Amino acid sequence: MTFIHCVKMHPAKIKQQFGSKLKSLSASQSPHRVFSDWLEIAAITLHQLPYHSGELAKDTAFETLEAQYMERVKAYSREKLNSFSEMLSLLILAHNGSYSDFLGEIAGEYELLNKRVGQFFTPYHLCRLLAKVSVGNVRSLVEEKGIVTVCEPAVGAGGLVIATAEEAASQGVDPCAYMQFDCTDVSRDAFNMAYIQLSALGLQAIVRHGNTLSDEYWEHRPTPQLRMFEQWLAPRRKAQQLVQAMQSILAGTSAAEPEACDSLPAYEKSSGQTLFDLEQFAGESLTRKRSPQKLDVVLDRQMDLFG
């Protein structure tokens, strides 16, 4: 899938263009089927990007998803796949420097939710309020933990996670560097929506298709940013260590003294271990293996707060 070049547009205009393309593609098919297919194709496209760029070696996860991608696109003409590509570009543009539940709003406005199972997405302004109540002082958590770990057991399209990232940013904390999210939803469409949006926002996350209540999980998918985090962090640590060593020499102190690392950002002082065992995502295992590390924040949909 290729991307079109997008210029800066108003969010309402982006949503209008996205909806227009979705309607056009749905002229001869069920809108829900087209939307679901687009979600599958777009999510796989984002997952495969680091492999196609050569940043990650192709593994079992790559091969499995590549086969699923090829099977899914067979049902569409080149013209329709170009429209799919344009829709993904619009989604990425919508999240460029902006926090919102773009796909959740699209699904609601175009009646793409599964009402038979009571599916709904919380309005984003309520997500912002819930996030503020749930996470508290993010800066203090970062200073204490290094990387803040957050669990969302019913992620939907990712609205509450996105709002949590925005809350961190409003407190002067970069959520892309200092937060890791563990997200689950039983709906396949919600699983894909959350994965697409969290990837587009550059957040580190594992998105799981599964049932939190029964502890059943069918697929686990890390965002590219989580897979690449250790590779991104290693050269930064090395450069910082060189700077600290030089400062120690100039100050006439030992580089091994504790004071030598005081200026390190919190996540660079940490052990570098993420919340997740990433090795499992390169293979076929779908066990819900976790680090024994305790989650710092669990996001619950406590809508009774507004009752």
228: closest CA among 102, 5, 46? 46
What pTM, to 2 d.p., does this model score?
0.81
The DSSP call for residue 295 is: P
CB neighbour class for 216 (10 Å; exposed up to 12, middle 13-18, buried from 19): exposed
Per the structure block, which two tokens stand in for 16? 């209008």
CA distance linking residue 222 with residue 206, whole number of Å: 4
The confidence score (pLDDT) of residue 116 equals 60
Q: Helix, strand, or coil here: 219? A: strand
Q: So what's the pLDDT on residue 288?
A: 45
Cα–Cα distances in angstroms (integers) from residue 265 to residues 50, 225, 231, 268, in the given order: 26, 19, 17, 5
Among residues 92, 95, 101, which one has the least CA distance to residue 123? 101
Residue 76 confidence (pLDDT)? 94
Per-residue pLDDT of the chain (307 residues; tens, 9 = 90+): 544 444 567 888 999 999 999 999 988 888 999 999 999 999 999 999 999 999 989 999 999 999 999 999 999 999 999 999 999 999 999 999 899 999 999 999 988 876 665 567 789 999 999 999 888 899 998 888 888 999 999 999 999 999 999 999 999 999 998 999 999 999 999 999 999 999 999 999 999 999 999 989 999 999 999 988 867 666 555 655 666 666 667 766 544 444 434 444 444 444 444 556 555 544 444 444 444 456 777 776 543 433 3
What was the pLDDT predicted at 266? 47
What is residue 263's predicted lDDT score, i.e. its pLDDT?
A: 43
